[in-house]
Structure formats: structure tokens, C-alpha cells
Amino acid sequence: MSDSASQRLNLIHNHLNNNNMTKSSMSVFQDVAQAPPDPIFNLTAQYKADTFDKKINVGVGAFRTDELKPYILPVVKKAKVILHENEALDHEYLPIAGNPSYTKAAAKLILGADSPAMKEGRFAAVQTLSGTGANHTGALFLSKFYTKSKKCYISNPTWANHRSIFSLVGFDVQEYPYWQPETRGLDYERLLQCMREAEEGSIFVLHACAHNPTGVDPTRDQWKAIAQVMREKNHLPFFDCAYQGFASGDLDKDAWAVRYFVEQGFELFVCQSFAKNFGLYGERTGNLTLVTKTPADAQRVLSQIEKLQRAEISNPPAFGSRIVDIVLNDPSLYQEWKDNLKYMSSRIIEMRHALQQHLIDLQTPGTWDHITNQIGMFSFTGLKQPQVKVLREKYHIYMTDNGRISMAGVSSKNVAYLAKSIDDVVRNVPV
């Protein structure tokens, strides 16, 4: 080959190489926008990075002891020993809908042993990836098979994931009024009005107890009125129950609203999480129960949910559900679990009283009754975003921007510091 011919060949070669380079250096994902960090997980990361010795994390919704340590329930420790010693257990897959003994026990826990739906066999249950998975699986099924309405109503405010979960599967997500800032209570009349005006057959996501983030639940009479309007409008109740037994310390009391709707003849979905009440946060132990008109309806719905579950996760994780299964099906462990629940809910209630008392002693402007009136893990303080910011930057106290405090992050050791800091921002930070 002549020199000039080989030069030409080199040039062509380089040109091709450069072209490939430019092509391969551009990602097919270059147009993907950066998503904002999750507010709650980001708050925990900021808290962890903070080196101040009096820092407080009242952002995350996980129970802590008075020493602010994660709590492994004593009954869970016992169940783990039983599990460990059971030589018959293996690591085979669970059925698609999960362990039937677990799902049945979970359904009984929320619906009640005397539930007409259970007695008549017109219910079905599927094991899910904790409460989030239960919400997702229910929402996914409804997005494909519920034809009455594509409108789904969530409370304003609500748990941050409700909107994401229901929008992800294609619902037109609307909000119903819930929190009334003036009374720091339920926006009852406007809630009912919204239900009356909503398109017939809309889905309403209802917090079964211990509403997150407000800690405000409807009274029983208010639940009755809500049920009546929902029946008039043929709305579909979609209960989310992430705190059964954690709210009042009483499993039955916390399930009252769900049971009332079932007694009234509603078809409904109910999501359960065993993250909080069993302390099984990372084990992703949840359940989705549905109640229908007939046993055949329940079985057909279940068959479709199983098909969806097969495509999404194939079958659920075993460990957490085995723990819950052992406890729920053993009368003495069940009793012990109730005692563990009492300990957790009582500590939270104690901290509510302590925080309130400190604020009263400091004569912090405003009224603080709502701290003890609200129930469950959270207190919706009424603090505004500029105050929350100062609490974070000046006092190293981490809470979500909406002024929600996880009472589990409050202890007998840090409550005075927390109250003094709140007192300062209430007096000195204009909103």
C-alpha cells in the first residue's frame, strides 16, 4: 500500500473512532432529571451527619426507647428463638399470596374474630411488602379492575407516599380536607362536603387510626357520618392501617373504624403494616385484606392480585411474616405482644404529657392541648416552616417541614431541651 493510501485509511479509521467515541460518551439516560431527595430519609441523613451532642431526631416514624435506641420487642425475640429452633423450617419460596396462616391471622386481627366478612368467608388476604406494598398492591389492582371511577382521594395532609403510590398506577389523585389549622383538629364539615361532591364511586384512602401526620382521628360518631355519606355516594373505602395497637395501646379500639364499615356492609380494602406494632420495619411485613359481597368475589379478586404479585415480586419475603404468624397464633405470645404494645404506646403518651407540661411551664405562647389530644406516633405541632428551619439550624432538632414531631424521638432526657427550643422559635421567629 502507498503512503498516501495508508494515510487515507488512517484518517478514515480515526474519523470512525471519533464518531463512535462521541456516540458512546453520550448516555441514553442523559435526559433523566435528578429527582429530589426523599424528605424523611434525607432528614435522617442530615441528623446522622450532625455532631452536636444535644441533637434530636423527631423526623423519622420509628419507635425508640427512652434511651432513644431502636426497640426489639421481647415477644419478637422469643419468636426468633422458636423460629431458629424449628428444624423443619427451610428457605423455600412462600406461596404467591404469602403464608396462608399469617394472612388469615392478620385479616382476623384487623377485621375481628367475629367479623361478618370472616364468618361468611367473603374476604381474602395477601401478604405484601409491608404497608407500602399493601397500598401499592391494592392501588395497582384497583387501577386495572375498578371501573366506577379513576378518582382517588387522599387526606390533606397525608403520609407522603399515598400520592406517589396512587399516581404511579394512573389514578387522578385529589385531596379531601382533613386538618383544620385554627382548631388543630379535624376539618369535619369540609371533609363531608368533599365526599358529597366527589364523583360517584370515588376511592377514598382513609387512615384507620393514628392519622399520619396529624395524629387527629375522627370520633366514632364522625366515622358513622363519613360511612353514611360514602354509602350514599357509593364511594370505595381504602383503609390504611399502619398503627394498629400503637395508637391507643388497644388493638380492637384501633380497628374500630374498619370493623364498623364492614358491619355496615361495605366492600373495602385494608392495608396493614407490622413495621410499627411489631418493630419489624426493615423486614417489610404487611398484609392486604379485601372484603367483598360474596366469597366468590373475594376469590376472583385474589386470583387477579396473585397474578399481579407474581409479576412484581413473585412471592413475598418469609422472615417477618413467620415472626408475626408465631405470635398471632399463640395465645400466650399474643398476650405478651399486647403488653409490649402497651409499653410502646404508653411511652409515647407519657412524652406527649411531658412536652406539653414543659411548654405550659415555660408559658410558651399558644395552646398546647393538641399535643395530648392527638394520638399515635406523631404530633402535628402547628410550627411553621421558618420555625422548623431555625430549630434545625440553631438547635439541631430535625423534624419535617410541616412541623410534625415523631413523639418516639422524644425522651425524658431531651424533652426539656426540645421544649425550650420550641419556646424560643414560637416567641422569636416570625411566620
Ligand X SMILES: Cc1ncc(COP(=O)(O)O)c(C=O)c1O
Residues in contact with ligand X by the rule CB under 6 A:
61, 130-132, 159, 207, 212, 240, 242, 273, 275, 281, 286
Q: What does the buried/exposed string (b/e) look like for 24-47 if buried means 16 or more CB atoms within 10 Å of the residue's CB?
A: eeeeeeeeeeeeeeeebeebeeeb
d(CA 274, CA 286): 6
So which residues are the catalytic ones? 159, 240, 276
- The H or E element that residue 273 is part of is strand 268-273
d(CA 366, CA 387): 14
Which residue is listed with cell 415472626?
323
Question: Whose CA is closest to 183, among 171, 195, 191?
Answer: 191
d(CA 65, CA 344): 8
**Minimal distance in Å, beta carbon 183 to ligand X?**
22
Q: Any idea what DSSP says for residue 36?
A: P
d(CA 308, CA 144): 10
d(CA 309, CA 96): 7
**Cis amide linkage into residue 116, ω under 30° from 0:** no
Question: Whose CA is closest to 205, among 161, 265, 250?
Answer: 161
User: If you write DSSP's letter for every residue of 293-328 in order, what string do you get?
Assistant: SSHHHHHHHHHHHHHHHHHHTSS--SHHHHHHHHHH
**Minimal distance in Å, beta carbon 161 to ligand X?**
7
**Minimal distance in Å, beta carbon 204 to ligand X?**
14
**Minimal distance in Å, beta carbon 121 to ligand X?**
27
**Minimal distance in Å, beta carbon 281 to ligand X?**
6
Q: Per the structure block, which three cell numbers stand in for 134?
A: 399493601
**Minimal distance in Å, beta carbon 38 to ligand X?**
12
